[in-house]
Amino acid sequence: MITKTTTAEVKTILTEMERSFSNMKEICDSVNNNASFQQRMRTQYTTIEEQFSEDLNGNLELNSIVSGRKDISGIYVLGLNNICCKSNTASFQKTVYREDYWFDAVLDSGSDIWYGIHDESFVVKSSGTRYISLCSPYIDKSTGKINGVIVVELAENTLLDTITQYEPTDVRFTLLDNKCQILYSSDEFTLPSKLLTTLSYSTSGDNSATSIYPSAELIKRELFVYQKSATTNWSLIGNVPKNYLNSINIKIFVISAVILLVVAAIAIFLSLFLSRKFTDPIIHMKNAMKSVEDGDFSVQITAESQDELASLAHSFNHMVTHIQDLMNSIYEQQVRLRKSEFKALQAQINPHFLYNSLDSIVWLLKMNRNADSIHMLQNLAMLFRIALSKGSELIPIASEIQHITSYLEIQTIRYSRKFDYDIDFPENLKSYSTLKLLLQPLVENSIYHGLSKTKPHVHIHVEIMEDIDDIFFIVQDNGIGMTAEELSRLRTNIYSNTEIHSSGYGLHNINERIQTYFGDNYGLSIESEFNYGTTVKLKLPKQIHNADTGSMYSHSSQPIHSQTP
């Protein structure tokens, strides 16, 4: 009960904090996608008057964005072309910020950086106020280059008020940054080194998961419940002192002792009350119960009399039959639930991809690239038509090839030709069946994880092969690849029987989908070498697709070696 209550408190507080963090991130995205700021940040101004006029216009736009958001202290846009815009009336500390460590760090990383509580604003003059800052690169939508830095600042009190608002009497809270440095503590106490080691290890790992759940540990007779922020990678820790836990344990012990005494008294009374004639039927019933405990639900008790034991035997038989029916029902429900989870995963992918694709089409139209816009819209329509597939999970391989081709065409335009691809398959395999949307996550990984500073261009090779009874889908890239340690950790996540919320989540789901539909003899395998690329291989049974019902039936054939170019 204490663990559950404390976990709920930690989750509630962190949810409120995440709302503030999300607001800051949404503001950065809003400014980054603002067409006026895009033009303002890429323009090279020839006169001070012209630049000053644009600064004032930018100030007004930022002020309108932050209007009504009392939790945000300020928004600042600082360009490499010396543009300096702010949402408030405070004075800038300087005219050029390029030499500041935080500015330089954002330019080097090319990604968002969160800074914990610091004594003054990074940008404007302030006194007596501490801030939390999100520094984000301002990216030119037409070139992909970084033109400056967006800074969104949150007052320390806004964040800490969230903690103290929900803080219960018996729980102490501590907030740590991503380097395990204390940002806030409701009471002065030392965190166990074991807990800090756990948090440090999790902080140094992959932070791509979108869902991070609370964890609880009992260390030195004290309860620690902690949860990481998915946005900032900070950790909130709730601590229940051992003296409070001891008082709860004493109460539980007393109640348990009373219950045990009552149960013991009832057992002694029943043993004295039962007569000798019930011994054999009871032993028979005991053996039957032991068989059920061992997993044999076919056991039935035959009653030769019409007394109370016969009624008990009848109830026992009814119970065993009902349990067997319930187990079968639960199994079927779990299968249906797993399938619905797979569909939910597809639903989560589609809206996000649709938004990015439509956003790219908008920019293509603004740049008068009409042919690319039409081509992208046609592929997008084909992509979602196949993804829907009238609700069917199984589609012909021809449709899967159309789907991945449309996806690659869209991504080729979105990524400004930073990769190329080829697709190789025998024509005779088009009529065979496959689970839909198997190739898209694999190709998406090749694009997102293959590209890097050392690998600015990637080639993706998609191939479909066959043998006597099986079909193989292969996605290969020459991207950055993985080290042996990273590959080992990824394989562990892929083949884990537990729910995954970290690296390998998409591959884990693909492997689980295949094995749920076709059995443990099928699934996913992966090979990778650092600086040389990654190869993912899917194994499915060779089965003809039934176009009328969406089902399939087994069909063995001799391997065909002819390939279409």
DSSP 8-state code for residue 295 = T
For 24, 69, 216, the CA distances from 162, given in Å and listed in that order, are 16, 16, 22
Asked if the model's pLDDT at residue 75 lies above 90, the reply is yes
CA 30, 32, 36, 41 torsion: positive or negative? positive
Most confident stretch, 34-43, 179-188, 194-203, 500-509: 34-43
Asked if the model's pLDDT at residue 502 lies above 70, the reply is no
Q: From CA 77, how far away is CA 56, in angstroms rounded?
A: 12
Q: How many CB atoms lie within 10 A of CB 272?
A: 7
Residue 178 pLDDT: 74
Residue 1 pLDDT: 64
Q: How many CB atoms lie within 10 A of CB 114?
A: 19
Q: From CA 396, how far away is CA 428, in angstroms rounded?
A: 11
Task: Please enumerate in sequence order all residues whose Cβ is within 8 A of that of 562, keeping only pairs 6 or more positions apart, or say none.
Answer: 426
Write out the two tokens for 34: 């603002």
Partner residues linked to 458 by β-bridges? 419
Q: From CA 156, how far away is CA 152, in angstroms rounded?
A: 13
Helix H or strand E segment including 513: helix 505-518
212: nearest Cα among 8, 511, 500: 500
Looking only at the bridges linking them, the beta strands covering 394-396 and 235-240 are unpaired
Where residue 117 falls among pLDDT bands split at 50, 70, 90?
confident
Asked if the model's pLDDT at residue 210 lies above 50, the reply is no
At 379-412, the pLDDT tens digits run 888 877 777 766 677 889 999 999 899 889 888 8
At 468-493, the pLDDT tens digits run 999 999 999 999 999 999 999 999 88
Q: DSSP string of 462-509? A: EEEEE-SSEEEEEEEE-SS---HHHHHHHHHHHT-SS---STTHHHHH
Q: From CA 454, how far away is CA 533, in angstroms rounded?
A: 12
Q: From CA 344, how far away is CA 342, in angstroms rounded?
A: 5
Q: Tokens 């190739």 belong to which residue?
A: 439
DSSP 8-state code for residue 430 = G
Write phi, then psi, for 219 (nearest 5 degrees). Answer: -125, 120
Q: Tell which CATH classification among 3.60.20.10, 4.10.520.10, 3.40.1010.10, 3.30.565.10 matches the domain 369-554.
A: 3.30.565.10
Residue 206 pLDDT: 46
Task: Please enumerate in sequence order all residues whose Cβ is within 8 A of that of 59, keeping only pairs 6 or more positions apart, or say none.
Answer: 85, 86, 87
Task: Please enumerate in sequence order all residues whose Cβ is within 8 A of that of 45, keeping only pairs 6 or more positions apart, or say none.
Answer: 51, 54, 81, 82, 83
At 261-286, the pLDDT tens digits run 999 888 887 777 666 666 666 776 67
Q: From CA 263, how far away is CA 257, in angstroms rounded?
A: 10
Answer yes or no: are the C-beta atoms of 53 and 45 closer than 8 Å.
no
Q: Is 252 exposed, middle or buried (0-12, 13-18, 19+ CB in 10 A)?
A: exposed
Write phi, then psi, for 418 (nearest 5 degrees). Answer: -80, -5
Write phi, then psi, for 381 (nearest 5 degrees). Answer: -60, -45
Here the contacts of 210-216 (C-beta below 8 Å, separation 24 or greater) are: 210/501, 211/501, 212/501, 213/501, 214/7, 214/10, 214/11, 216/3, 216/6, 216/7
Q: From CA 218, how far away is CA 199, in angstroms rounded?
A: 15
At 132-172, the pLDDT tens digits run 889 999 999 999 999 999 999 988 887 777 777 765 556 77
Determine the topology of domain 2-159 in CATH.
Answer: Beta-Lactamase (3.30.450)
Mean pLDDT computed over every residue of the chain: 79
Residue 526 pLDDT: 94
Summarize the confidence of residues 433-462 as an average pLDDT: 88
